[in-house]
Amino acid sequence: MTQEHIPIDSTETIKKTRTESMLLNIGPAHPAMHGIIRIVAELDGETVVNADVEIGYLHRAFEKHSEQSGYLQVIPYTDRLNYVSPLINNVGYCLAVEKLFGLEITERAKYIRVIMSEISRITDHLTCIGASAMELGAFTVFLYMIKAREFLYEVIEAVTGARLTISYTRIGGVKADLPPQFDAQCRNALQETRKVLEECDQLLTRNRIFVDRMKNTGILSREDAAAYGITGPFLRSTGVDFDVRRSTPYLVYDRFNFEIPVGERGDNYDRYLCRMEEMEQSMRIIEQALDQIPGGPVLLDVEGNVIPAETMVDEAKMGRIEGICGKTANVDPTLGGAGKAVYPQIEAANKEAVLPPKEDTYGNIEGLMNHFKIIMQGHGIRPPKGEVYQAVEGGNGELGFYVVSDGTGRPCRVRVRPPCFVIMAALPLMLKGGTLADIIPTFGSVNMIGGELDR
């Protein structure tokens, strides 16, 4: 602020005041901006007068890649949308393609998808709260929550064979059945996670510094949230109990008893409380699903005739097939999941959409031809012409896939509705009127995921 004194005469001076604001560039190199967001904040002292949020630093061309790939080849791309909760992305996309086919997957596959999706949701919220707390100085909470996430990652790895980019679901079902030790391992991981959440609740929820930084900051009204099309914990923090799992149930969510946490003020603190309670509700859903999941064989009963797939292939190439015919190959990459005997439990009975068991692919000509027709270029999965929209409840809100089929082996159009994109559009509104220090907790509460935002 500057003041210019303009003398009029020897006895009178008129003071002319001119106010200047300052533009401050935050990101993309700022650690709290994740390397891919730039905020140009207009400041009057410490107060944010205006904010321009710039995205586009991590454009992945997901939708264009999907149009140039077969339906199955899109699944690994969905992992990279929200790489903190990739299982939910897998499920949403496969549900959309199955709707094109009119496929009804098995009961067991539905329960497996629910269980893995809710585990993924917990890892998403743990990462969001832990990272946001760390950016406010609560480094211990970050370490505790990452410890809890590690328990859940071990469960995910036992089922899928990977930890982060898992590509687990398949059109018509899932890649592999649950391993035999899954129930005990999963319940133990949930028990350990609850202990960590109790510790973090004691460290954060009534911590004066944390509460002062979060309460009454980043406020978004219910009307503004609805106007922007915001969903998920952000919308629920304003008092709206909208959840895709409850409003338009998919899979078997209508069979579970769970609550939808809501807030009152729509500020950063309410969003923190909503996510903390949502993790408990997700654990309730998982435990109910474990109690209700239909039985079925998990491991093949090969009666001692187990042959590694690579051995079978090498021997067959050399023409040494004596002793191979009629035997079963051990082909599952996780060594504890899908096999021919469990395929009816986890995959739909549709040869036009579902890959055959690898035992058949390696063991008989019919399975090889079936695999060829689905995988090879110019063939592939070919749903009928049409268009569908399928929404699931992602970690940040409604995650929607709009898929258009022209009857060929490649999608004509794949459009994604990423939940954090609309939240980022409303970020300037939440930053205005706050202070410079409020930018970090507000942006952290968005839980912006770059791969989802710049799809």
Residue 300 has pLDDT above 50, yes or no: no
Residue 285 has pLDDT above 80, yes or no: yes
**Mean pLDDT rounded to a whole number for the chain:** 87
Q: Across residues 244-256, what is the average pLDDT? A: 95
Residue 10 has pLDDT above 60, yes or no: no
CATH architecture observed for domain 62-297+381-453: Orthogonal Bundle (1.10)
- pLDDT at site 309: 59
Give the whole-angstrom CA distance, residue 59 versus residue 38: 14
269 contacts 322 by C-beta, under 8 angstroms:
no
- pLDDT at site 307: 59
Q: Which two tokens stand for residue 115?
A: 């269980």
pLDDT above 90: percentage of residues in the chain: 64
pLDDT above 70: percentage of residues in the chain: 86
Q: Across residues 123-144, what is the average pLDDT? A: 95
b vs e for 425-455, b when ≥16 Cβ sit within 10 Å of the residue's Cβ?
ebbebbbeebeeebbbbbbbbbbbbbbbbbb
pLDDT per position as a tens digit, 42-101: 999 999 999 999 998 988 899 999 999 889 999 999 999 999 999 999 999 999 999 998
Residue 299 has pLDDT above 80, yes or no: no
pLDDT per position as a tens digit, 315-347: 666 666 666 666 665 555 554 445 777 788 888
Whose CA is closest to 117, among 294, 305, 250?
250
Dihedral of the alpha carbons of 77, 248, 194, 335, in degrees to the nearest 10: -40
Q: Across residues 215-225, what is the average pLDDT? A: 94
- pLDDT at site 297: 35
- pLDDT at site 306: 54
Residue 3 has pLDDT above 70, yes or no: no
- pLDDT at site 328: 60
Higher-confidence residue: 360 or 190?
A: 190
Confidence of residue 374 (pLDDT cuts 50, 70, 90): confident
Q: Across residues 280-291, what is the average pLDDT? A: 96
- pLDDT at site 336: 46
Confidence of residue 294 (pLDDT cuts 50, 70, 90): confident
Residue 236 has pLDDT above 70, yes or no: yes
Element holding 42 (H helix, E strand): strand 38-44
Q: Across residues 377-397, what is the average pLDDT? A: 91
300 contacts 277 by C-beta, under 8 angstroms:
no
Confidence of residue 356 (pLDDT cuts 50, 70, 90): confident
For the chain, the structural domain boundaries read 62-297+381-453, 306-375
Q: Across residues 156-166, what is the average pLDDT? A: 91
The DSSP result for 305-363, as a single string, is -EEEHHHHHHHHHTT--TTTTT-EEE--TTSSS--GGGHHHHB-S-TTTSPPPHHHHHH
- Residues, the chain: 455
Residue 33 has pLDDT above 80, yes or no: yes
Residue 304 has pLDDT above 80, yes or no: no
Q: Across residues 368-377, what is the average pLDDT? A: 86
Residue 2 has pLDDT above 70, yes or no: no
Q: Which two tokens stand for residue 203?
A: 């460290």
Residue 368 has pLDDT above 90, yes or no: no
